Amino acid sequence: MRFQEAIAEKGFSLCALLSGAVTVTVFAFMVILGFPLIREGQAFTLLIKPWIPGSGFYGIYPMIVATLAIASLGVAIAFPISLGCASMVSVLGPRPVSLIVRRVVELMTGIPTVIYGFVGIFLLVPVVRNLFGQGSGMCILTASLMLAILVSPTMILFFSDSFNRVPQSYLAAIDALGGSKVQKLYHVIIPCARNGMLIGLMLALGRAIGDTLIALMLAGNATGVPGSLLDSARTLTAHIAIVIAADYESLEFKSIFLCGMVLYLFTTFVTIGIRFVGVREGGKKA
Amino acid sequence: MKMRVFLAMVFGVFLTVGGYDIVSAEPLDMFKGEKGAVRIAGGTAHIPVMKEVAKRIMTVNPAIQISIAGGGSGVGIKQVGEGLIDIGNTGREPTEAEIKNFSLKVFKWAIDGVGVVVNPGNPVRSLTKSQVKDIFAGIIDNWKQVGGIDKPINIYTREDASGTREVFWEKGLDKGEIAKKANVVVSNGAMKSAISQDPYAIGYVSVGHIDHTVAPVAMDGVVPTIQTVKEGQFKVSRGLYSCTKGEPTGLTKKFIDYLFTPEGQKIVQSNGFITVK
Amino acid sequence: MNRLIEKATMMFCWMSIGLLLGAGILILGYLLVKGLGAVNLKLIFGGTIPLDALLFKKPVFDGLFPAILGTLALVVLSVSLAVPIGISTGIYLAEYAGPYTKKIFNLFFDILAGIPSIVIGLFGFSLALFLHKHYSKNVQPCLLISGLALAFLVLPYIIRTTQVTLESLPSFVRVTGLALGATKLQNILFVLLPKSFSGIISGVILAIGRCAEDTAVIMLTGVVAMAGIPKSLLAKYEALPFYIYYISSQYKDTQELMTGYGASIILLLLCLLLFSIAFVLKRQLTYLALYRA
């Protein structure tokens, strides 16, 4: 009996170690396979150089700029919309509206990314092209708009949950003082849920940085540093998807492992940042 | 080993049954009774032909599995060299170094060209070579500068591993620059879709792929059609190649042989390319 | 508070709802309008008779059947790899791990959950290259590698749902078994796990949905445009989300585009169904936790 227990415990802990090992191994592979670049001291210069394989430039600077631009613009567009919707769902809305909207939003979180990209090509790209009269319609703006639609449902649900977690006593206090719903929102709920909202924002940012399909299908994939919102651009994720087809002894190919490293580090920082904010909130609550 | 024995038996049967010339017998018969897989990847211009051949083979013998992927000529060469696939398609001739490094055997089964295309709604249908070079370099950036409407030109180009791009860059642009802000698409099919959807687009595509969804643009007076490529008037021409690592054997060899049979060449022709036989 | 600010806030919130719902309805509506006409047996089976195709007697060309089978095979493979390890890890974290260990592992799994799917795909591809060079020439990006990579992708979901479900079980449930003389393992297997069943299942269903819709991972680990039905674990295969991506960027004519719309509808329905089931299960769990405790 004791024996069984010990084996079970060892077995479970082995699984846990295996799972944890995956996290580390992913990063290790990126580093090992991108090593020739680091060894030749090019890793840092690659982060600030342009991408011209014909002349031997394998810099991923344009991709870094594009990733940050599309991700931050997408989240910036999604934030106010999500805030408005979450407020309506949790605080301001009449009951039936609140329920319907919540159901629809929950449904929208299940839509596959490739479908957003697919519809974007036929619906959004021509609209952007005709609206601005220049550019092919496949640009940073289009990708950011679709990305905003992608991350909004999850952000709304997250914000809504944060709003619901505000202590009842605070809400009761405002009601007792005769405050309206909007006043409740501005003076109690949002300040209280501030940390939760920050976490939701960062989760969305992580998701936006790591998204491949929308950027691949809607942003145009040009190799230059984008100069304006209507310029075609290539994100780190789309770059990996495109260059995977190249010759894999070449430095060109190894650059995608550098992209992988950069992406891994970006999202890890965001994750650690979320934990940090979460810890602060936990401490404050107590 | 078993494959070779079987091949010998098949050959023997053919001989004894009357000394038939293998080429004049029903070509698809050589696939009957075979088993195994053929992995194909590489140039995207070859895909329609590959798909048709694979369909016929798999209909005659469902036990054979043929998988086809794109990726561009760079993928074709590298993956066949590494042994990850059996047949690597390329739209450009493999370099000396590549042939030596990977002991490639190259088979050319069609002739094709790469032509400039625009949206069918675009009135501009003829450009000089230097205009083409300037457009793709981004120096000429508005359609009105070449006789069209007053709208910016949207350039579309292919990814770095593409053989189509390599050929166009070398022979069409004389190794000129392609603007960095050009949109990048990853296959001939994707180029066609992109151009047919964007009224102000310009790009380049395999001549065999040109159909009613895109409009060919004459370069220095020569329209890129399969005729002008065949007669040598249109200079930006290339072959469609399939490469194997070393001499092909077994199912791979049969697949390649089929491409050179009259049936196979008919498939090549019906897809808009020029036959080699 | 200013009347104006109140009115403005309400208007802003209503506008946000309008925008979001409008976008959602536009996307879904556009797909349905364009593609519903294309969803029929011909879409799935091409020119082959359905019965022949289902019994694998004849191959299917120009149909979605191989892609659907490929997606199915992927889901089964990756979930069967991820579920045992994920649940065991979750059990370990909830029941056996000390607070310090728990914190470290949680950090690791949060990081794993945040890794972009294409980086996981890149990892799978490098794994395939590595095995190809050092282990056996037969290994290449294939069904097995994709299944493995997808398992890595969904592992954090399963671990997290198992751990959270087990930890949120009320203490009297935990204590009763032990008080009656059960060992820790017996308690876990016969009392805690059955009670957490719906929560764990919702995590598994979420994982299934994720595997079915993911494109970035499979793009790098072995999916191709044409391969017929998956015949072996070490072979290339087709999948539904890749088909949609492929068709959207290169369609020969309107007919092919229609198949893209049809495939989108099928994938959409599949994923929406799975996510709805998962949500319903999660709700049941919350109800039980809040009102039964």
Confidence band of A81 (pLDDT split at 50, 70, 90):
very high
pLDDT recorded at residue C82: 92
Closest alpha carbon to C218 in C147, C126, C112, C168: C147
> Is B100 buried (19+), middle (13-18) or exposed (0-12) by CB count in 10 A?
exposed
Residue B20 confidence (pLDDT) above 50? no
Alpha helices in chain C (DSSP H): 3-35, 41-45, 50-54, 65-91, 99-114, 117-134, 143-167, 171-179, 184-187, 193-195, 197-213, 216-220, 240-249, 254-292
Amino acid identity, position A1: M
pLDDT recorded at residue B23: 43
What is the C-alpha separation between C180 and B140, in angstroms, rounded?
Answer: 85
Q: Is B70 at the interface with chain C, CB within 8 A?
A: yes
Tokens matching residue C215: 């494109």
Closest alpha carbon to A243 in A229, A235, A253: A253
**3-class secondary-structure state, position A25:** helix
Confidence band of A55 (pLDDT split at 50, 70, 90):
low
CB contact under 8 A, C224 and B69: yes
- The whole-model pTM stands at 0.86
Tokens matching residue B3: 């494959």
Least confident of A90-94, C45-49, C93-97, C238-242: C45-49
The tens digit of pLDDT for each residue in B185-210 reads 888 888 988 898 889 999 999 988 88
Residue of C nearest to B68 (CA): C226
Residue from B55, B66, B67 to probe the interface with C (highest C Cβ count within 10 Å): B67
Tell me if A215 sits within 8 A of A142, measured CB to CB. no
Which DSSP string do the residues of C61-96 spell out, in sequence order? -SSSHHHHHHHHHHHHHHHHHHHHHHHHHHHIIIII
Q: Is B71 at the interface with chain A, CB within 8 A?
A: yes
Q: Closest to A136 (Cβ–Cβ): which among B78, B180, B183?
A: B183
pLDDT recorded at residue C87: 92
pLDDT recorded at residue A46: 67
Closest alpha carbon to A181 in C13, C15, C19: C13
What is the C-alpha separation between A207 and A211, in angstroms, rounded?
Answer: 6
Confidence band of A145 (pLDDT split at 50, 70, 90):
very high
Q: What is the CA radius of gyration of chain B?
A: 21
What average pLDDT does range C40-52 have in this prediction?
75
What average pLDDT does range B33-38 have in this prediction?
82
Higher pLDDT, A82 or C38: A82
Residue from A2, A136, A213, A236 to probe the interface with C (highest C Cβ count within 10 Å): A213
**Adjacent-strand bridge partners of B64:** B36
Collect all residues of chain C within an 8 Å Cβ-Cβ radius of residue A16: 88-89, 92-93, 97, 105
Closest alpha carbon to C262 in C250, C276, C247, C277: C247
Q: Closest to A136 (Cβ–Cβ): which among B71, B78, B201?
A: B201
The tens digit of pLDDT for each residue in C179-192 reads 888 888 888 888 88
Amino acid identity, position B272: G
Collect all residues of chain C within an 8 Å Cβ-Cβ radius of residue B65: 227-228, 231, 235
Q: How far is B79 from chain C (nearest CA, A)?
A: 10
Residue of B nearest to C139 (CA): B84
The region, left, alpha or beta by phi > 0 then psi within -120 to 50, assigned to residue A185 is alpha
Residue B16 confidence (pLDDT) above 50? no
Least confident of B108-112, B130-134, C158-162, C251-255: C251-255
Residue A151 confidence (pLDDT) above 90? yes
What is the C-alpha separation between A126 and B196, in angstroms, rounded?
Answer: 12
Q: What subunits touch chain C, counting only 3 or more CB pairs under 8 A?
A: A, B
Domain ranges (residues) in chain C: 1-38, 40-291
pLDDT recorded at residue A57: 66
Residue A179 confidence (pLDDT) above 60? yes
Percent of chain B's residues with pLDDT above 70: 91
Predicted ipTM of the assembly: 0.85
Residues 250-289, chain C: which have Cβ within 8 Å of A? 260, 264, 267-268, 271-272, 274-276, 279
**3-class secondary-structure state, position C181:** coil
Residue B3 confidence (pLDDT) above 70? no
Mean pLDDT of chain A: 84
Residue A84 confidence (pLDDT) above 50? yes
Q: How far is C60 from chain A (nearest CA, A)?
A: 24
Tell me if A63 sits within 8 A of A235, measured CB to CB. yes
Closest alpha carbon to B186 in A54, A255, C219: C219
The CATH fold of domain C40-291: MetI-like fold (1.10.3720)
What average pLDDT does range C40-49 have in this prediction?
76
Confidence band of C234 (pLDDT split at 50, 70, 90):
confident
Mean pLDDT of chain B: 84
The tens digit of pLDDT for each residue in A90-133 reads 877 788 888 888 888 888 888 999 999 999 988 898 899 888 87
The tens digit of pLDDT for each residue in A186-224 reads 888 888 888 888 888 888 999 899 899 999 999 988 888
Least confident of A102-111, C45-54, C87-96, C258-267: C45-54
Amino acid identity, position B95: T
Q: What is the CA radius of gyration of chain A?
A: 23
Collect all residues of chain B within an 8 Å Cβ-Cβ radius of residue C226: 51, 54, 66-68
CB contact under 8 A, C213 and A1: no
Q: Is B180 at the interface with chain A, CB within 8 A?
A: yes
Residue of B nearest to C57 (CA): B62
Tell me if C265 sits within 8 A of C36, measured CB to CB. yes
What average pLDDT does range B21-29 have in this prediction?
58
Q: At A139, which helix (H) or strand (E)?
A: none
Closest alpha carbon to C77 in C136, C152, C129: C152
Collect all residues of chain B within an 8 Å Cβ-Cβ radius of residue C231: 37, 65
